[in-house]
Chains A and B, each alone.
Chain A
């Protein structure tokens, strides 16, 4: 049948009807609204005043303030109006904002070091998991490894229970090794959890790359390692990007181990955020501000790699 003939058919099996298309887009939009709405609510809450944040019924229209962000980044003490009046005039806009509430800034809060911890631990463990995963996946994909299937199953089996199920043994082990509340400890832990996912995902991607490419490079003068670096990796880049995103999302968001194993030095954002306390309880605008900032890196990372991610997830589904 010619292309023209296909087009003229009332119900083409290849092309969706306008109604089907409308239905599909409607569904996608609905899903997008459902997932994006909470995020927007958080972003909005960060700009509310404390009372607006807990107002009932919830306020959609409000007067924006940066109080939440100021509270997030600072530690404040309440003073009498007399004391504040005696102080020299406020140096900055946030000084002014705080004094309007009869308070003075006592110093910076812990949010910056916590955020830095999250960045170091999240990206560090992702890098390590992807690096080790790539090497292991390459070996599994290309070499005859005795008991390869059993080993792969063993690697996968580490993910068959929730990681938190082994929280207590890990806690005891970490205490013995002095790894509790250290960045190194957290990086190792997240790497250990992620590396199995990385091996499996990347093995699939590397399997898809014909070995002829490396073999051609081997014959042409490269060593195995050079062939891996210069020929295989450039082609596996989509898979690596997809794997990196999955690993980062896990280690960035991980809460249970972070609560259990970190308290000070190495604390990441997830256990930090819920305990941002203001006067008389939870400081919701500050919590929302922290959450907003916490979400930004992962959104950026995903947006930057989204092309690879899409291609990565569907990789191998269709042969080019």
Chain B
């Protein structure tokens, strides 16, 4: 197993820059998710790690060894594709054994290793089936088997659950994480689905427009987003942004929000007057008549244990997550109270978080 280090990696295609100077380290045994909207460069980064794409600039180190320009085959990594890429002219067993055959391993040993891998994935009974007859989940298991059989240094997965239906995806998420805990292989997992990333990963890198916006544990990324993009991309519904203008002083525990003062976590940097945004997660909003921000209930979306209530305020529409037992009437005028310790502040100009006691602002790996 291995540590993967990316240094100033950049990739451009003609005019278009897909990945811009990212630098980060994926520690040995980590389940590392790269999360971002489509076209953010996550897949390109993964393909460069795999050797399927050559970087324009920068370095890729596997366990300290520079493999930037090594052939894919020489890197000893395994790749799992979104569409599984099972060879249609081979059966399940042959598919799983294929990487070993490529290496010129003997038939007997291949058979043993294939059996062992299949046992791990509980697909022994499928070994002689045609791949076209398999269900989506089984295909994914075969694809995983083909990746595992070689015992590579690292697994790279490109939206491996993207082609499965929602129900199955959830099941496979659990299986993937379970598998990772058993074999402890460094795994780089690309997805645009925040739930997948949040539920499985040890570390998440949120990417946008070719840049890594933030790297952190799922909790860090959710609770202390480094930028407005991260705050907006992660969470459903996303973080609310309430815009205002003002200056900030280090040590303050409140900001002038339009006509009132709002308590916030202790500010850790000085800022001249500038357009700012107050970031508040829907679950950190309560309805209270004493609330500083008032608005009119626009709608409510019932979700079982909770409900999402949208409120039209003077500063825009705000979504609040309330217990579903709370009764709200549409059109009702209510006050909103925020959980001061969990608020975030952003500089609208740069989109970056402002350092507070809650979050240390932008950090790059």
Measured CB to CB, the residues of A under 8 A from B are: 210, 212-213, 215-223, 226, 231, 234-235
Interface SS of chain A: helix
Measured CB to CB, the residues of B under 8 A from A are: 50-52, 71-73, 75, 77-79, 81-85, 87-89, 98-99, 102-103, 146, 150
How many Å from the CB of B86 to the closest CB on chain A? 8
Q: Are A220 and B102 in contact (CB under 8 A)?
A: yes
Chain A positions within 8 Å of B150 at CB level: 220
Q: Are A235 and B89 in contact (CB under 8 A)?
A: yes
Among B73, B81, B98, the one with the most A-chain Cβ atoms within 10 Å of its Cβ is B73
Given contacts A219-B73, A231-B87, 8 further A-B contacts (CB under 8 A): A210-B83, A218-B51, A218-B72, A219-B77, A220-B73, A220-B78, A220-B102, A234-B89
Name A222's contact: one of B75, B84, B102 (CB within 8 Å): B102
Chain A positions within 8 Å of B82 at CB level: 212
Mind listing 20 A-B residue pairs with CB under 8 Å? Answer: A210-B83, A212-B81, A212-B85, A215-B81, A215-B85, A216-B85, A216-B146, A218-B51, A218-B52, A218-B73, A219-B51, A219-B52, A219-B72, A220-B73, A221-B73, A221-B99, A221-B102, A222-B102, A223-B73, A234-B87
Chain A positions within 8 Å of B87 at CB level: 213, 216, 231, 234-235
Chain B positions within 8 Å of A231 at CB level: 87
How many Å from the CB of A225 to the closest CB on chain B? 12
**In this complex, what residue of B is CB-closest to A214?**
B85
Chain A positions within 8 Å of B50 at CB level: 215, 219
Among A220, A223, A235, the one with the most B-chain Cβ atoms within 10 Å of its Cβ is A220
A223 vs B70: C-alpha distance when bound (angstroms): 12
Interface SS of chain B: loop
Chain A positions within 8 Å of B81 at CB level: 212, 215-216
How many Å from the CB of A168 to the closest CB on chain B? 44
A222 vs B87: C-alpha distance when bound (angstroms): 14
Chain A positions within 8 Å of B146 at CB level: 216, 220
Chain A positions within 8 Å of B75 at CB level: 219
A66 vs B87: C-alpha distance when bound (angstroms): 53
**In this complex, what residue of A is CB-closest to B78?**
A219
Chain B positions within 8 Å of A217 at CB level: 98, 102
Q: Are A215 and B52 in contact (CB under 8 A)?
A: yes
How many Å from the CB of B261 to the closest CB on chain A? 57
**In this complex, what residue of A is CB-closest to B79?**
A219
**In this complex, what residue of B is CB-closest to A231?**
B87
A213 vs B78: C-alpha distance when bound (angstroms): 13
